[in-house]
Amino acid sequence: MGLGQGDGLLAGKVAVVTGGANGIGRACCERFAEEGADVVVADILDERGIDTIAAVEKKGRRAAYVHADASSPTDNETVMQHAVDLFGGIDVLVTAAGIATADYRGDRPEASARRAARHAREQPDAMRRFSDLRLSDWQKVLDVNLTGTMLSVQAAARAMLDLGRRGSIITIASIAAKHPAAGAPAYSVSKAGVWMLTKYAARVLGPAGIRVNAIGPGFIETNMGEMIRGLPDLEERLLADVPLGRMGTAREVADAALFLAGQQSSYFTGEMLHPDGGFYTD
């Protein structure tokens, strides 16, 4: 039977991370492993997902990769079932799977950034970008970011309730959840939905001892962060609103997730932490 429980803030715990192949999700996988957790990595980018597993195993913990589309109910069920079958349960869920726009590709950040820059040049008018937004583009972002989060939270909650685990669920929202100037329309609305979902789930799951919190990161250096860099003047404009004057790292977000995952946050639920360099100071 695998490794011993070892030391660390998450010793003996099992974590599931959607979107665990890259960026914030991957940083959570690695940070949690450093603190003693075994990890199930769910994503649609298989090569990168398998790479994350290797990184977790290097830290001495067990890991499994499951190809899973966050917007699929059955894929989410399969992910949680893997955690139960392979590692005996699920204690922590992080929902990091997400897209910035309908055509965002996590494995092609440069191409996504170039496309975003072209859209911005062709359609510099924010009013038009809003009024002409295609239904299919809106739907895709909502499907992955909001419905995907709902399905992962539901599937994890079911497993935690069945097993009687007092788990911790962490959704990844954004500063865009509360501020219309921090993201594109569908993205911002999807993240606002994630925030309400988080509060809702916290209320209904609290009596079972399951905590549900959100993280609302600011501008973070990941593949998605590359999009910001690609947009003309946007990096400077956005950083003008960040007192610390720089983008954050995925590890800085993972540290917030670690706090929410473990016992140090035992009286937190229905809360959103903002690793954002001070964006919310006004």
> Where do contacts with ligand NAD occur on this chain (CB under 6 A)?
18-19, 21-25, 43-45, 69-71, 96-99, 106, 144, 148, 172, 174, 217, 219-220, 222-225
- CB closer to ligand NAD, 33 vs 97: 97
- CB closer to ligand NAD, 21 vs 169: 21
- CB closer to ligand NAD, 167 vs 225: 225
User: Is residue 187 annotated as a catalytic residue, yes or no?
Assistant: yes
Name the token pair of 177: 């959840």
Name the token pair of 80: 């949680």
Q: Is 60 helix (H, G, I), strand (E, B) or coil?
A: coil
Q: How far is the CB of 278 from ligand NAD (least distance, A)?
A: 15
Q: Which residue has the tokens 């239904």?
A: 135
In a 13 Å sphere around the CA of 241, the CA atoms on its Cβ side amount to 15
Q: Is 194 helix (H, G, I), strand (E, B) or coil?
A: helix
Q: How far is the CB of 217 from ligand NAD (least distance, A)?
A: 4
Q: How far is the CB of 183 from ligand NAD (least distance, A)?
A: 8
Catalytic residue, chosen from 65, 187, 200, 267, is 187
Partners of 43 in the β-ladder: 67
Which of 35, 59, 63 is CA-nearest to residue 49?
A: 63
Q: How far is the CB of 1 from ligand NAD (least distance, A)?
A: 30
Cβ contact 195:119 at 8 Å:
no
How far apart are the C-alpha atoms of 14 and 193, rounded to whole Å?
Answer: 27
Cβ contact 220:173 at 8 Å:
no
Q: How far is CA 48 from the centre of its chain?
A: 16
- CB closer to ligand NAD, 36 vs 218: 218
Dihedral sign of CA atoms 55, 38, 17, 71 in order: positive
- CB closer to ligand NAD, 26 vs 165: 26
Catalytic residue ranges = 187
